[in-house]
Copies of this chain bind each other. A is one copy, B any other.
Amino acid sequence: MSYGDDRVYKKVEIIGVSKRGLDAAIQAAVTKAHKTLQKLSWFEVQDIRGHVGDDGTVTEYQVILKVAFEIKE
């Protein structure tokens, strides 16, 4: 890629869920989107949420992100 060329990207919104913390939830989402959707270029965090278990521990972190990839011919 070089700046100045005409290009078009697409952004898709996904949610990564992991019990191992924020960094892990981001990586989980990016890994799956990279495999099942398309080779990604970057991501943007939209929102952070999570689930709380009966004992008051965070049982999962949920990170809503937009991931972006180039649309090629």
Q: Which residues of B contact A11 (CB under 8 A)?
A: 13-15, 64
Question: Of B27, B31, B40, B52, which is within 8 A of A67 by CB?
Answer: B52
How many copies of the shown chain assemble into the complex?
12
Docked-complex contact A52 and B73, CB < 8 angstroms? no
Docked-complex contact A27 and B58, CB < 8 angstroms? yes
Residues 10-32 of A, flagged 1 when their CB comes within 8 A of B and 0 if not, give: 11111111110111001111111
15 sample A-B contacts, Cβ–Cβ < 8 Å, listed by A number: A3-B53, A3-B60, A4-B51, A6-B18, A8-B29, A8-B33, A9-B15, A11-B15, A33-B71, A36-B73, A39-B56, A42-B50, A42-B52, A43-B52, A52-B67
